[in-house]
Amino acid sequence: MLFRFVIIAVFCLHTHTTFAQLTNRFAIIPQPVQLEAGTSQFTLDSATTITVPAGQPDLNAIADTLANWLNRTTGAAIVVQTAPNPTVKTIQFLPITDAALGEEGYRINITEKRVTLEAVNPRGFFYAVQTLYQLLPPGALDIGGNKNPVPNALATLPACRIQDRPRYRYRGMHLDVSRHFFSVEYIKKYLDLMALHKFNSFHWHLTDDQGWRIEIKKYPKLTQVGAQRRETIVGHYDDSDPQVFDGKPYGGYYTQNDIREVVRYAATKYINVVPEIELPGHALAALASYPELGCSPIGLDGRPYQVATKWGVFEDVFCPTEKTFSFLEDVLTEVMSLFPGKYIHIGGDECPKAAWRKSAFCQRLIKQKGLKNEFGLQRYFVNRIDKLVTAKGRRIIGWDEILEGNGTSLRLSPNATVMSWRGTKYGLEAARKQHDVIMTPGQYCYFDHFQGDPATQPTGFGGSLPLSMVYSYNPTPASLSPADAAHILGVQANLWTEYIDTPDQADYMLWPRAAALAEIAWSPLEQKNYEDFSRRLVTHFDRLAALDVNVARTFFDARPSARPTADGKLLVTVSPSNESLVVPAPVIRYTLDGSIPSGESPRYEQPLVIDTSTTVRVATFADRRPLSELANVQSEYIVSKATGKSYTLLYAPTTGRPDRNFSLTDGTTGSMGGYEVAGVVSFVNDFGAVLDLGQSQSVNSVRVGFLKYTARNICLPKEVEIAVSDDGATFTPVLTTKTNATEGGKRGIVRLPFDFAAVTARYVRIIARNVRQVPSGLRNPGKTAQLAVDEIEVF
């Protein structure tokens, strides 16, 4: 992956750099409730012991894990015993009774001679140990034991007193393994990182349209057929028109033994695994395996059901027949035999109703049950599954669509927990109806969204979710009454993997945003402080490096921006990212020749003036070593006779992509990422502009950037006319040319040149004719076409 090289270079930084003053021995994430720093330290040595009271097997297991890790890390031979030895340094596990700590709280007291851990429950001791890991120097952290022992001088714990307990009881992370499959080995690493950050719930998205990933003994076709797709779409969903596929079979699933191993391993980390079996929608993989579960033998498109090869929402869903409910009861019974936790996630989201509307059976069922419409039928479906799961002593979780169907007499079981993803509205509504709620709104918790400039990022779903926005989230707003607020169980990060196909890329999208969410889930609301979090995060980057985590470095990004000057040049200003509040700020270096900045490149100290089209690259550094990711990304700025000049638009742009302060001559080119396009102005009708060059001068060429995004009905123009004038009233045509509005292929900004014999003029008029309707041969023929325009150049 493009970003791996830069990140490895950063991670090679030793802790003792010019940023050393920013690192501190109490860079704990999530932040404890109370921490009182001491002045001495506890140094681990070969004589150190760990003591646990006799007859405490759970504590023994935690202590053994700690001892093994410390021994691997330091090369010592620390042993676990039941009787403390007052003559040696000791890490003591001390069970107590204290309602103030709760089931997951703990206390730590570190002096020169003793480390005392106190908790009511083994969970509390487990989280105390996670804090101990973070109190060691970052270079010492290597839970997996992948490197040589560190010097004993690094195996120190700072003296302090800590009292801690979580804000929320549900602290979750989600992983979609249906779109892309991840090995058991990676799942264990995922759980390790969750535990270090005190998450306690792993939401495992095991089935979807693109793959069924869990072995069900009674229905072997689910993995024989449903776990395999014949190929996978290449790039983003709308990258190309027509879409491009890789032609390579893709598959994978977890055997029941794999599932048991993951559940067992998670239990050692005090993490509950919540399996998700999607229904009634997102069911194509199951329908491809057992077509009789659909409302017709074939799909709505007239073809046999098949495992989806691209992303999105598909109209073929489970049919609410007794055969389907029998199948789902069998599947969920096997699932519940593998997962001992109380929660079973049943999906319930994004269920199109077209198949049900066309089904005579479904229409009869709606009348028979008095369900009013297909939304009532969805409520009926969910209620059937709710009763099934509840009868087996478990509780369902469903996405917030399970609230739909209020026009019927059916009501959700009081046991049903709502996972709010479509913003916060539905979660708050569910809490007011006395349903337990897990908050996971997309604008704060969907980590498949971009965390920095899309031009610097691997392919993502779209949308922006920077680190600071994650940290800003409060799952329990003040508008909730105390009684309703008690139903907010917690918060969860979601990682959907349509565009995430490797462990490195999954890590990149998760971290450090998951660290921010960990603090939201654990630390008191009144202690939230992004500046303080930023300082601790600098140390945490080194900690994650020791754990071989491919962390995103957008936190350290610097970004250039440009504005035209009065004399037609560009003034380029480079600013540190708003994400990072660390002081002092990193050093910014730049190049103007397209090369990647190095530690020897010029240091940015004042705005740059450029008088010709230039590629500007910027990167941040510490001790001449790169910190940011922008070293591999270029910002292209265009300078021409049009730069900074005013113009009049002849046709009104759309409200969705308006013109902002003469953005078509500001020297800055447009960009795109995911579904997003920035820096262009769009038009439903034709595009027309009259540029005022300020004075008469020789012109012989115009170049216009047009967005080609035919998957979204944005086509190139069919014709372009150029005319010139000295007075702005009488124009003389200099060029009329046909252009190719039928061009599809990969989306992008196409800069079309229009050359003509040199003329003298002050005003240049450009008219681009819209093709009006998307031409045949493209994805959406006959749909209303738009034009979208980027930078205009005049030469």
The residues carrying an active-site annotation are: 350
Residues 6+ apart with CB under 8 A from 647: 662, 664, 665, 689, 690, 691, 692, 792
- Hey, CA dihedral for 43, 49, 52, 57, is it positive or negative? positive
Query: CB 323: neighbour CB atoms within 10 A?
Result: 12
| Cα distance between residue 322 and residue 311, in whole Å | 29
| Cα distance between residue 494 and residue 412, in whole Å | 24
Residue type (1 letter), 30: P
For residues 166 and 140, the answer to whether their CB atoms sit within 8 Å is no
- Residue 168's Cα: distance from chain center in Å? 22
φ, ψ dihedrals at 613, nearest 5°? -55, 130
Q: What is the DSSP letter of 687?
A: E
């400039």: which residue's tokens? 453
E strand or H helix at 126, and its extent? helix 122-135
Degrees (nearest 5) of the Cα angle 541, 421, 492? 35
């001679």: which residue's tokens? 113
On the 0-12 / 13-18 / 19+ scale of CB atoms within 10 A, 688 is: middle
Residues 6+ apart with CB under 8 A from 780: 710, 711, 713, 774
- Hey, CA dihedral for 207, 213, 217, 223, is it positive or negative? positive
Q: Which of 725, 700, 560, 567 is nearest to 630 (CA)?
A: 560
- 543 by DSSP, 3-state: which? helix
For residues 378 and 352, the answer to whether their CB atoms sit within 8 Å is no
Q: In angstroms, what CA-CA distances link 2 with 6, 389, 507?
A: 8, 45, 14
Strands 79-81 and 106-110: unpaired
State the distance between the two ends of the chain, measured CA to CA, in whole angstroms. Answer: 39
Q: In angstroms, what CA-CA distances link 549 with 155, 295, 357, 541?
A: 21, 45, 48, 9
- 113 by DSSP, 3-state: which? coil
| Cα distance between residue 204 and residue 211, in whole Å | 13
Degrees (nearest 5) of the Cα angle 517, 521, 522? 120
On the 0-12 / 13-18 / 19+ scale of CB atoms within 10 A, 80 is: buried
Q: What is the DSSP letter of 551?
A: -
| Cα distance between residue 710 and residue 677, in whole Å | 13
Strands 437-439 and 156-164: unpaired
